[in-house]
């Protein structure tokens, strides 16, 4: 009995430690992100450049084999060039073209060098670059700029938190065990519902149309879940647990913003097609 009693607290602490690390990391990072988005201009551009450099480096370490050579260096350079193109006024089309051409260069360099898996390296490069460009574009809109970026972040963060909480507390059938062994349908449903709820709250706070913003937020939740699954699939393919070790309790930056990249891409495409932010629908 004594041994059992002594063991229980240690198990409790072991389970609590990752969650506490996640909370502490979020408490540090969230104000920095929100502050940069609120300040806008060079601050949000600097945030996007820093993020794409870190994520590109993490993806290069996964996709490239051996020393960090020219092929691996092209991965973060592509993201930096695409984000800088948009940030310094070249336009969304040029930024997307830079990202696409950079990904093609990565693909070709990986084939020539044999030091990276070409399709994986190029796809990840394009995903990171376009996701960062989309986020920067949404955070630089001429109308409702702060509200749009905050709504996007709130929907994605609510999705992440609720999916983690529902998956841990409810459990149940696995969502896609071949891609990610820990994700459940309960977590998926909880995350998407939380994103939709956040859309409703955002509509009430900003005066936007309720139904369109709830529907778009629900889709952002689905996109965030798919982005998370895609990165989990990549990590399983490369045989690693995390994309990096930058953030305690989360792993790498890519582990933390995989859903945001996917949601930003969806929101960016929809906004560009509609010609205005979903908050003005």
Token readout for 122 is 């190029």
* Cα separation of the two ends of the chain: 63
Buried b (16+ CB within 10 A) or exposed e, 43-69: ebbebbbebbbbbbbbbbbbbbeeeee
Q: Indicate the pLDDT class of residue 62, thresholds 50, 70 and 90.
A: confident
Predicted pLDDT at 181: 83
Mean pLDDT of 177-185: 87
Q: Residue 6 above 70 pLDDT? A: no
CA atoms within 13 A on the CB side of 164: 15
Residue-level pLDDT at 27: 77
Helix or strand holding residue 182 (H, E): strand 180-184
Whether the pLDDT of residue 216 is over 60: the answer is: yes
- How confident is the model over 84-142, as pLDDT tens digits? 999 999 999 999 999 999 999 999 999 998 877 899 999 999 999 999 999 999 999 98
What single DSSP character describes residue 279? G
For residue 235, pLDDT beyond 70 = yes
DSSP 3-state helix, strand, coil percentages of the chain (rounded to 5)? 80, 5, 15
């Amino acid at each position: 009995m004594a041994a059992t009693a002594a063991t229980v607290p240690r198990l409790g602490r072991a389970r609590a430690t990752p969650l506490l690390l996640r909370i502490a990391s979020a408490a540090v990072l969230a104000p920095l992100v929100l502050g940069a988005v609120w300040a806008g201009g060079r601050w949000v551009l600097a945030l996007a450049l820093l993020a794409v450099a870190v994520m590109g480096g993490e993806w290069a370490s996964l996709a490239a084999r051996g020393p960090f050579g020219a092929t691996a260096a092209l991965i973060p350079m592509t993201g930096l060039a695409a984000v800088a193109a948009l940030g310094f006024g070249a336009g969304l089309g040029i930024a997307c073209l830079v990202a696409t051409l950079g990904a093609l260069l990565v693909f070709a360099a990986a084939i020539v060098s044999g030091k990276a898996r070409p399709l994986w390296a190029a796809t990840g490069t394009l995903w990171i670059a376009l996701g960062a460009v989309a986020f920067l574009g949404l955070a630089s809109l001429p109308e409702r700029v702060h509200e749009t970026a905050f709504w996007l972040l709130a929907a994605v963060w609510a999705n992440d938190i609720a999916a983690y909480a529902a998956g841990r507390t409810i459990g149940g059938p696995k969502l896609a065990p071949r891609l990610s062994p820990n994700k459940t349908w309960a977590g998926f449903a909880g995350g998407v519902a939380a994103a939709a709820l956040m859309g409703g709250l955002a509509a009430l706070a900003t005066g936007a149309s309720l139904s369109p913003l709830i529907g778009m937020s629900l889709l952002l939740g689905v996109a965030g879940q798919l982005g998370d699954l895609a990165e989990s699939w990549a990590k399983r393919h490369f045989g690693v647990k995390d994309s990096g070790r930058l953030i305690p309790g989360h792993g790498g930056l890519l582990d933390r913003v995989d859903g945001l990249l996917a949601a930003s891409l969806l929101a960016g495409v929809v906004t560009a097609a509609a010609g205005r932010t979903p908050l003005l629908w």
